Amino acid sequence: MTTRRPLDDIRIVAVEQYGAGPFGSVHLADLGADVIKIEDPRNGGDVGRYVPPHQSGEDSLFFEAFNRNKRSLNLDLHTGAGQSVLRDLVACSDAVYSNLRGDIPERLRLRYADLCAANPRIVCCSLSGFGMTGPRRAEPAYDYILQGMTGWMSLTGEPDGPPAKSGLSLVDYSGGYVAALALMSGIHAARRDGVGMDCDTSLFDVAMGMLTYVATWNLTAGHVPQRMAHSSHPSIVPFGAFETADGWIVVVCAKEKFFVRLCDVLGTPELPADERFNNVSSRYRHRAELLPILERALRAKRSAEWLALLREAGVPCGPVNTVEEAFLDPQTDARGLIVTTEHPHFGTVRSIGSPVRVGDAPPPARRAPQRNEHADDILRGLLHYGDQKIGELSAAGAFG
């Protein structure tokens, strides 16, 4: 018996490139959606194919990380013939998904108003830097720029150091998740109501939205957030990274009981009774007095020793791992997070699988497509084009 995947009945035409867009759709592909990746033949397809250092020809390990389980088709949407093929794809699809500059969907006719004649239930989801409205709609945007613009970098790093970005492109990745959520919500509504729509998602909106309580503090109470030493939490103490005899660990005392347990482990059981440290508010006010005490104590033993003692006592904690050490954590294997695919140049490619879990069966993994690899499958098998029509479209520049 074949087990159907959750999105086996969803088809998405993805005019996507590089990171944010492909990251959003790869989770949908892992869940079974037929993601048809449209690649512009004028410039060699998705620019992600050429990202070093692990790159060969038109393939890279960067591209592999974002495009598992998708199909690829060369299509020049700047031509009338390419637009004709797009409309035929729209007629048998649920969504058109793009991550282009905010003014490009209008120019390439990727909005609902442009495509609803081909399919009234089509959902047109745009993920752009600044959205399809507003004074910045035509500006290019990248994750690093948005981390700076939206205040993230002012909150990251040591207090006496320069502003810093996150070690990962979290605006891009969060934007991909939000776009995938918007797209699936749109498909649900279109199937219920028989009418599609536009979904206008922007990385700027996502990055601003993720300011959450910091935004509320500032907008409502005028609070000015500051960078905290050792990645500490702005209001809960202790809650951050602590140096040990041989490295760093993270200790989190988000509840009163955890602070009491921590003090017992550190041999400072008198601290919870001290009026300076006996509740969340007092520890917040007296963090400058409390943290040096804890820091001195934690530097006395090695990380592994402290982690064993703290876990046994029920104190939330963890190591500050390297990326390689994170892969070796037994939880990584237990959760089946590493997936393998076979590639003609890179051999066995080991990647991180999608954290989106629906049902019990692990999703199958198929390597990222070579450019235009699925042209015959899509043009002949899905759209039922014959040789003559493919020849005419080709002559008219549809495929580059």
Quick one: average pLDDT of 383-390? 97
Mean of all residue pLDDT scores within the chain: 96
Confidence of residue 359 (pLDDT cuts 50, 70, 90): confident
pLDDT at 353 over 60: yes
pLDDT level of residue 360 (50, 70, 90 thresholds): confident
Q: Could you report the per-residue pLDDT of 204-259, keeping only the tens digit for each?
A: 999 999 999 999 999 999 999 999 999 999 999 999 999 999 999 999 999 999 99
Architecture of domain 229-320: 2-Layer Sandwich (3.30)
Q: Which of residues 399 and 357 earns the better pLDDT score?
A: 399
Chain segment 140-167, per-residue pLDDT in tens = 999 999 999 999 999 999 999 999 999 9
Given a cut of 70, whether residue 179 has pLDDT beyond it is yes
In this prediction, residues 323-328 reach a mean pLDDT of 96
Q: Which residues contact 264 (CB under 8 A, 6 or more apart)?
A: 313
- Which regions of the chain carry the CATH code 3.40.50.10540? 11-210+370-395
Amino acid at 94: D
pLDDT digits (tens, 9 = 90+) for 74-123: 999 999 999 999 999 999 999 999 999 999 999 999 999 999 999 999 99
Among the CATH numbers 3.30.230.70, 3.40.50.10540, 3.30.1330.20, 3.40.30.10, which is that of 11-210+370-395? 3.40.50.10540
Does the annotation count 34 as an active-site position? no
pLDDT at 1: 46
Q: Read off the tokens for 89.
A: 């794809």
Which entry of 143, 172, 198, 200 is annotated as an active-site residue? 172
Per-residue confidence band for 2, with pLDDT thresholds at 50, 70 and 90: low
Which two tokens mark 327?
A: 């892969």
Indicate the SS3 state at residue 62. helix
Domain with CATH 3.30.1540.10 in the chain: 229-320
CA distance 203 to 97: 15
